[in-house]
Structure 1
Amino acid sequence: MTVYVSMDDTDNLNSRGTGRLARAVAAALAREYDVFGVTRHQLYVNEAIPYTSHNSCAVIHLRDAGENNVRSIFGTVREMMLDDFIEGSDPGLAVAAEGRITPSLMAFGKDAKSTVLTQTKARSLAENLGIMLEGLGGTEDGVIGCMAGLGLAHAGNDGRFLQIGGIRSITGPAEATALLAAGIDCIHTLDGRPVLSGTIEAETGKSVKPCPVGGKTVLFVEEIDGRMVAVKRD
């Protein structure tokens, strides 16, 4: 059973981002659990919502972790987040086994991409579903985004991978075959053509960012003047 670790609003404008913290936490959890990947999910950008730069949350996917380990995982991550607390941030943490993530929570996640939601609704949802949720400083507004992250990650058709397999070790232009061997299931152009070979162009020093789509890890590319260029989707 997959366990999801969701965190939001852990940074300020001058600090490391939530994605970087999530990767550090994933590395620590990997000593005991099978880390499938880390996803980033874009939430609603609106002047009524205080956010740091992009209003996104990050979710760590732990395969076969089991519901019995949720409390221990929560405690480990909570301690790491408190130790790395950034002044001016409003972090939230939510941890749940996949069996706790119902259609109501997936709908909450979807709503968080286009609607202003409240802490009250997030906390009520967590209580009713038996999900471990806590605000870890500041206004604690991060509880909204981290609950949304659980629903979006489990739905499996949102966001992009910040980490999966060995893709972070491959930066800049790379052969499609190398990317497929590193943990990407398939590469497709935006108009639906599969790409099995050739060079995929990416920003120098940066790794590609595949997306979860229907249970697959998919890298989307765009053909520009005969070149296949990796696309970073929200």
Structure 2
Amino acid sequence: MQIVISIDDTDNLESRGTGEIASLIAEGLTANGWGSASLVTRHQLLVHPDIPYTSHNSAMCFLAEINEGCLEQVISFAGDFLGRESAEGSDPGLCVVSLPDLKHAPELIAFGRRAKLEVITMPEAYQLADRIGAHLSEHGGTGQGIIGALAGAGLRLWGNDGRMKGSLKFSRETVPAAELLAHPNVDEVRSITGESVDALDLVRLGEKPKTVLIDGASVLLVSAAEAGEGEPLWQTLHRKELKDY
């Protein structure tokens, strides 16, 4: 049974981030024998004076494959974990979507995309969650994080938004594209200009290279490098170049 778990607003400026809490929840699913989780994605939402947030207003989300009959246990575990581990002064929210039971998926995706552009209220989030059959719950403070949590779930299902948490680790600065594709967290190496990247092409890795979610896949974006003979043809994008994902 595939589910989506999304959380938002669990931290303050001194605490560990929401991404780390999402990773710990994902690890907990495996540790408890309920299933396994995918990579965690970070989804940037609207930054606006009317929206409280810690630093960047982003939700964290992951897909999980769980055993039949474990959904309520997973929801209870995730909610208890948020209530216990979220930082003082935060307003954590939790969204859990069972994909087999999801109704009106396009509405959820549209909600997520709107949350990148508009200020949305808590009552609207609850109304949508009730209509589509998603679990949505508050776990401290004002509970404002439910909006971002629901939006994060929609954006993850859309499959064209978000950066993967963490960075890729390689022992060398320059590697062929084939070696990048052999990494378990890389589904595709893609040029931002649409040119084909050959498996034998050399790619120069910048600082902390990250993959992004495109067409539901974990994609490492590259741009053309100023290369001489025998030099890399491509280079990974700088973190600032990924700010739109």
TM-score, scaled to structure 2: 0.85
How far apart are residue 156 of structure 1 and its match? 1.0
Aligned to 1:30, the other structure's residue is in SS state helix
Match of 1:76 in 2: 77
Query: Counterparts of 1:186-225 in structure 2 under 5 Å?
Result: 186-195=188-197, 196=199, 197-203=201-207, 206=208, 208-225=209-226
Q: Quick one: distance in 2 between partners of 1:209 and 1:54?
A: 18
Q: Do the aligned partners of 1:98 and 1:154 also contact (CA within 8 Å) in 2?
A: no
Q: How many residues align?
A: 227
1:143 equivalenced with 2:160 (yes/no): no
Match of 1:181 in 2: 182
How far apart are residue 17 of structure 1 and its match? 1.0
Structure 1 residues 13, 172: closer, same or farther in 2, change over 3 A?
Answer: farther
Match of 2:39 in 1: 37
Q: Do the aligned partners of 1:67 and 1:96 also contact (CA within 8 Å) in 2?
A: no
Query: Counterparts of 1:111-130 in structure 2 under 5 Å?
Result: 111-130=114-133
How far apart are residue 192 of structure 1 and its match? 1.2
Q: Do the aligned partners of 1:25 and 1:80 also contact (CA within 8 Å) in 2?
A: yes
- Indicate which of 155, 158, 161 corresponds to 2:158: 155
Q: Quick one: distance in 2 between partners of 1:171 and 1:13?
A: 32
Gaps of 5+ in 2: none
Match of 2:56 in 1: 54
Q: Quick one: distance in 2 between partners of 1:2 and 1:159?
A: 19
Q: Do the aligned partners of 1:70 and 1:96 also contact (CA within 8 Å) in 2?
A: no
Q: Which has the larger radius of gyration?
A: 2
Q: Do the aligned partners of 1:5 and 1:96 also contact (CA within 8 Å) in 2?
A: yes
Q: Quick one: distance in 1 between partners of 2:131 and 2:164?
A: 29
1:230 equivalenced with 2:230 (yes/no): no
Q: Do the aligned partners of 2:26 and 2:36 also contact (CA within 8 Å) in 1?
A: no
How far apart are residue 194 of structure 1 and its match? 3.2
Q: Do the aligned partners of 1:44 and 1:55 also contact (CA within 8 Å) in 2?
A: yes
Deviations 1:12-37 (Å, cap 9, x if unpaired)?
A: 11111111111122122233312121
Structure 1 residues 158, 29: closer, same or farther in 2, change over 3 A?
Answer: same
Structure 1 residues 30, 198: closer, same or farther in 2, change over 3 A?
Answer: farther
How far apart are residue 170 of structure 1 and its match? 4.0
- The farther-off stretch of 192-201 and 103-112 is 192-201
Aligned to 2:148, the other structure's residue is in SS state helix
TM-score, scaled to structure 1: 0.88
CA-atom RMSD in angstroms: 2.1
Q: Quick one: distance in 1 between partners of 2:49 and 2:172?
A: 35
Structure 1 residues 131, 68: closer, same or farther in 2, change over 3 A?
Answer: farther
Q: Do the aligned partners of 1:91 and 1:135 also contact (CA within 8 Å) in 2?
A: yes
